[in-house]
Structure 1
């Protein structure tokens, strides 16, 4: 289902517990790792070796699940869900607030583990903690707003009472990616828990330890342990079992895998939300503050070494400011500090794997071979880490180049001039994706108006992605081939519920009374409808 993470090592028959593995010096305390990996539902006796992008240090042997393990996880989750759904909404919200505090209290431990597993810069790892804490607090504080039973207008005033309940789906299957191993491991599941569901989670193979620590924090926050089950294994082996047993599926990953999951969910007549690929544009208008736009572009392009679904890969800059913007952007890019370490001073960290490094290098080499110009960057830096690649700015990218329309998912961006805003919008909308966009202008109202013309699920004005991503009341997701469904906001929790309408009729039936004929009943109903319209009733 999800792609096997190529940074991870081979699947073997052991050892399941790295505490007893003496073949290598592990980067993490082996008893600590063993305690985390015991949370995986596994009976196979097989393990998956995981190594860090920081120097290739061994991290763990993660136990692997079988389809039978997945079935068992869903069975236990269903039992736990029945009791959890009967728990009051206030108690569920209180558990989220306890989790919020635990995340902030344990942030150093969480950040360390994220950096070890992903190789990202420490500042980027901190943002995962912050986003997850925001998510927990937002849904705890808005629980009643989203999930309380709601009275709606009945068919006849005073005679018909109608209300809508939000009923949990049951057990949600969550398949999460490696690029944001903490935030993506939990952020989609927290509203599912709040709504009364259980979760079976399948995190990516490379970042299992972070996901397992997150599950441990759920236990410590007071969520029933069997409410959140974790399974591990290659997508082709157990991904289908997760989709086949879930009552709803939440997936973040590639468009190709998203299509497969959508077909499987369609066959079962269950819902799914899919956040998929993107080729996100940034527009720098002629009235933009060039230095502010250049600062934003550095964040928007190179955060997490470009391994961010909402990061920018295409920069469209107005003729009037193009040269000044390029000078400011390139100079800032060249000044970035790179590395694969836990140091707070690193501006951009490592790519996740050799496969990711190969893709980035291939896109740059292809562009250069076909005539593109490298304004800065363009090469791997093995002296800094096995998968470090320089932040790269390209000019002269054309439609025959791999990086023109295909998602690179790395620290590479292409610059383009535009002559009119209509042209800029048309080029931003070109292609099949529609996840995130950014507009820089001194006229915020003009930027917001232009945003409505861009076919993306989120558009940020004078910010690359953080304004929408950090505004938890704002839904986040993609249009077109960037996916379906939304996380965050009301949509982020209501997707895990069924709407149940209950109506109670008083005094008279909605049918002929006192021997009235159907014809006369129709006349009475018509008169009542006209009266309700004159009274302004919906």
Structure 2
């Protein structure tokens, strides 16, 4: 039997008492490891983290906690090669895609280590200026932010076992809040290995970092009022979390990042020979194929003027024909696998639903695989769908196929007295009912700025790509620690990262009303 990956709770490694769930190589089909959390004393583990880990972290200054993050970065860099091997075996990713997860995580940790240095030798933060409460200025109110006296339970999705861990853990630890991470079972190996390496290095105080590998049953029952939950995953699971008594009755703070039908939008008057259309085509293909489309920020809908529909389809399909799919260990393969047979079945099901209302412009489902057995490998080629009637075909705005699938759709260009506007495109983008990101493509700075503000109310991030930043922009789907990650409505209504803004979730805001002599001591 393969290795069993234990959980780490209450300051010690622990195995569950069940048979466990197997983790597989999604290309070769080999069993890699097993995880099981059956019978673990979760209440004990949470209490240990709160009492031991929380107290130790809060005793440190922001600068001291930042140095801990910097030390974690060094440990992770020492083991990068091992992480890449695990990602290939357990996630089926090519090296480029593994880098997004692994190196992206290390970069995010390093960014928060540097940000923490700027906060200095403090253990709490001031929030704004003091405010007078009456005519006499002696008695005023000052808002402060102090670390919450609970744990941060981080429940992560399968697609980013490295980045998903550290983009949540970094601001939590910097804030002085202990972390308990629950990785998605199917790809838990990489998360487990990283946590093990950090724990064995002895960087963090006992209880500051814990991990639960296996079923999440009972995990939310262990939460108390000052704990916080950060969740990434499906809207269905998010709804279950929101209705759990810990959240609904004990007011445990929760941050949700869920489904998102993200858009890419080409502005009007961008002729086929303009640089904006090739930029759109390149970014769409990149987002369809990186991590085999298994990204919450990937482009799902591509909105172009109806006059450029055919040109856009031709440009995107030409690039998709160059994408090779199969075993990520083969240097000729550009796109690897989905993470599991279950995920492959889900993608095929969603694709079939969308195909009922669209035309298939490029069929990747029938694409031959390189160095992989289609009966075993969880591989599917990129598929581009299309519709000239996005108003009448509602499913394209509702169904997120979490794989290498996108839908091209045309919008009507509205002719004004002196201009052509993209109002119809904005309406279509908003039919996603709240998304993590939309990207805009064009060459007119004024039009791009106007469009960005039009979409800002329904998107957590608006990524604007014009010819002058063609070689500089960070990518539609890349989540940078300096910028907000999250989105309204269907996307979950949550906020992560955004520089030091991420720390707000792990702090409690309170108003201290006192004499100016007292407030000056703050």
Interval of TM-score (by shorter of Structure 1 and Structure 2): 0.7 to 0.9
Shift of 1:129: 2.0
Matches within 5 A, 1:187-206: 187-206=167-186
Quote the residue 1:427 is aligned against: 428
Seen in structure 2, the aligned counterparts of structure 1 residues 468 and 290 have a Cα distance that, compared at 3 Å, is closer
- 1:287-338 CA-to-partner distances (Å, cap 9, x unmatched) read 2522222111111222211110010111111234332222121010110121
Q: Is the 8 A contact 1:174 1:249 kept in 2?
A: yes
Q: Alignment partner for residue 476 of structure 1, among 470, 485, 488?
A: 485
Quote the residue 1:451 is aligned against: 452
Q: State yes or no: 1:391 paired with 2:359.
A: no
Q: Alignment partner for residue 487 of structure 1, among 496, 499, 510?
A: 496
Cα distance in structure 2, aligned partners of 1:476 and 1:507: 40
Root mean square deviation of aligned Cα: 2.9
Q: State yes or no: 1:306 paired with 2:293.
A: yes
Quote the residue 1:186 is aligned against: 166
Cα distance in structure 2, aligned partners of 1:133 and 1:273: 22
Quote the residue 1:71 is aligned against: 43
Q: Is the 8 A contact 1:279 1:407 kept in 2?
A: yes
Matches within 5 A, 1:95-134: 95-134=68-107
Q: State yes or no: 1:365 paired with 2:352.
A: yes
Q: State yes or no: 1:460 paired with 2:437.
A: no
Cα distance in structure 1, aligned partners of 2:335 and 2:323: 7
Seen in structure 2, the aligned counterparts of structure 1 residues 378 and 467 have a Cα distance that, compared at 3 Å, is closer
Cα distance in structure 2, aligned partners of 1:310 and 1:205: 21
Matches within 5 A, 1:310-459: 310-343=297-330, 345-369=332-356, 372-379=359-366, 381=369, 383=373, 386-396=377-387, 403-420=396-413, 421-454=422-455, 455-459=458-462
Seen in structure 2, the aligned counterparts of structure 1 residues 107 and 506 have a Cα distance that, compared at 3 Å, is closer
Q: How many residues align?
A: 477
Quote the residue 2:278 is aligned against: 291
Cα distance in structure 2, aligned partners of 1:370 and 1:293: 23
TM-score of the superposed pair, with normalisation by structure 2: 0.83
- 1:50-77 CA-to-partner distances (Å, cap 9, x unmatched) read 11102111111223243x5211210211
Q: Is the 8 A contact 2:384 2:407 kept in 1?
A: yes
Shift of 1:507: 8.5
Unpaired segments of 5 or more residues in structure 2?
A: 414-421
Cα distance in structure 1, aligned partners of 2:176 and 2:76: 22
Seen in structure 2, the aligned counterparts of structure 1 residues 262 and 344 have a Cα distance that, compared at 3 Å, is farther
Quote the residue 2:144 is aligned against: 165
Quote the residue 1:17 is aligned against: none
Cα distance in structure 2, aligned partners of 1:376 and 1:415: 14
- 1:261-305 CA-to-partner distances (Å, cap 9, x unmatched) read 122213211211000001111112242522222111111222211
Seen in structure 2, the aligned counterparts of structure 1 residues 342 and 319 have a Cα distance that, compared at 3 Å, is same
Matches within 5 A, 1:191-340: 191-219=171-199, 220=201, 222-235=203-216, 237-243=217-223, 247-264=227-244, 265-285=247-267, 286-287=269-270, 289-340=276-327
- 1:338-369 CA-to-partner distances (Å, cap 9, x unmatched) read 12323555321111122221122223334445
SS in 2 for 1:476: strand
TM-score of the superposed pair, with normalisation by structure 1: 0.81
SS in 2 for 1:187: helix
SS in 1 for 2:485: coil
Seen in structure 2, the aligned counterparts of structure 1 residues 334 and 87 have a Cα distance that, compared at 3 Å, is same
SS in 2 for 1:359: helix
Q: Is the 8 A contact 2:130 2:141 kept in 1?
A: yes
Cα distance in structure 2, aligned partners of 1:294 and 1:92: 43
Cα distance in structure 2, aligned partners of 1:371 and 1:198: 48
Quote the residue 2:419 is aligned against: none
